[in-house]
A and B are shown apart, each in its own frame.
Chain A
Amino acid sequence: MTQLDSLLQRVRERHPHFTVYRGEAETDLPDQFATHAVNVDVERLPPGGPDPFVVIERDGAFVGAIAEAELQWLLEPPIHRPGADEGISAGYRVLFDVLDETVFTALSRRQLLAVSREIEDRAYRVGNGTLGVGFQTLSTFETQVDLYRELATATDLEIHIYGATDWTPPDIGGITYHGNGETAHERHWVLAFDGGHDEFQACGLLARETTDAYDGFWTDDRGLVGELLTALEAN
Chain B
Amino acid sequence: MGDDQRSDDRADAVESSGSPEISTDQLYRALASEQRRRLLSYLLDGEERTIEEIATVLTGWQAAESGSMQTAADREQVHIELFHSHLPLLDEIGVIRYDEDRGAVEIESLDPAVESLLAEGIDSAPPRS
Contact = CB atoms under 8 A, between A and B. Distances in A.
Interface of A: 21, 45-55, 61-70, 89-92
B69 interface: yes
Interface stretch (B4-12, B39-47, B88-96, B97-105): B39-47
27 contacts: A21-B60, A46-B41, A46-B45, A49-B41, A50-B38, A50-B65, A51-B128, A53-B60, A53-B61, A54-B60, A55-B59, A62-B72, A63-B72, A64-B63, A64-B72, A65-B63, A65-B69, A65-B75, A66-B63, A66-B69, A66-B70, A67-B64, A69-B67, A70-B63, A70-B67, A90-B71, A92-B69
B80 interface: no
Contacts of A64: 63, 69-72
Nearest to B127: A48
A45 B38 CA distance: 11
Interface stretch (B15-23, B25-33, B116-124): B116-124
B122 to A, nearest CB: 6
Nearest to B116: A48
Contacts of A45: 42, 57
Interface of B: 38, 41-42, 44-45, 56-57, 59-72, 74-75, 118-123, 128
A92 B71 CA distance: 10
Given A46-B42, A47-B121, 12 more contacts: A21-B57, A46-B41, A47-B44, A48-B118, A49-B41, A51-B64, A62-B72, A65-B56, A66-B70, A67-B63, A69-B67, A91-B70
B78 to A, nearest CB: 10
A119 B69 CA distance: 35
A47 B42 CA distance: 8
B28 to A, nearest CB: 19
B60 A65 contact: yes
A61 B72 contact: yes
Given A21-B57, A65-B60, A49 B71 contact: no
Contacts of B63: 53, 64-67, 70
B64 A52 contact: yes
Contacts of A50: 38, 60-61, 64-65, 123
A46 B44 contact: yes
B23 to A, nearest CB: 24
A41 to B, nearest CB: 12
Contacts of A48: 41, 44, 118-122
A58 B49 CA distance: 21
A62 B44 contact: no
A62 to B, nearest CB: 5
Contacts of A66: 63, 68-70
Contacts of A62: 56, 59, 72, 75
A89 to B, nearest CB: 5
Nearest to B123: A50
